[in-house]
């Protein structure tokens, strides 16, 4: 439970120490974009931060979310070109076409500003090739992709 609320949990992709609490994140503990009480407060986020900071020398990071996009932090020619190669691979799978219509570009241009996101944090720590894959759904199921979409999404 979130302190002072009947709601529980936080959006892990608003919980990173990269613009934490800024535009696109909510202070409302009952909102889907609730950023949590403080940066890296969520166990899964803290574990990844500890792994990356403890290991160092990561070259690439890919985070996966709901909604069909392949995003980079800002328009970088190389990352955008690589994203289109990844897109071609995704579209070559035998999934329903309506579920695999992906877009490529920067987060702010494709969806909205999302402060506290993992992709910003990984870039800030020096991970050169940082991507966020927004998988499958384009709004019908939202953040609750049905179980029957898990395997086709992974494929």
Return the active site residues.
Answer: 134
**How far, CA to CA in Å, does 102 sit from each of 67, 69, 136?**
9, 5, 8
Q: Tell me how far apart the alpha carbons of residues 91 and 142 are, in angstroms, rounded to a whole number.
A: 21
- Identify which of 149, 114, 95, 97 has the alpha carbon closest to the alpha carbon of residue 15: 114
Q: Which of 117, 122, 109, 98 is nearest to 49 (CA)?
A: 122
């Amino acid at each position: 439970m979130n302190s002072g609320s009947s709601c529980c949990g936080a959006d892990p992709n608003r919980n990173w120490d990269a613009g934490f609490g800024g535009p696109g994140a909510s202070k409302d503990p009952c909102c889907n974009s609730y950023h949590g009480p403080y940066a890296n407060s969520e166990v899964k986020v803290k574990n990844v931060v500890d792994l990356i900071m403890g290991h160092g020398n990561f070259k690439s990071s890919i985070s996966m979310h709901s909604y069909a996009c392949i995003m980079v932090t800002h328009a970088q020619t190389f990352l955008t070109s690589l994203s289109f190669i990844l897109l071609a691979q995704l579209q070559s799978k035998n999934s329903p076409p309506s579920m695999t219509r992906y877009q490529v570009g920067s987060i702010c241009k494709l969806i909205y500003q999302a402060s506290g996101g993992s992709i910003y944090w990984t870039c800030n720590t020096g991970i050169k090739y940082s991507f966020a894959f927004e998988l499958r759904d384009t709004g019908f199921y939202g953040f609750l992709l049905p179980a029957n979409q898990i395997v086709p999404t992974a494929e």
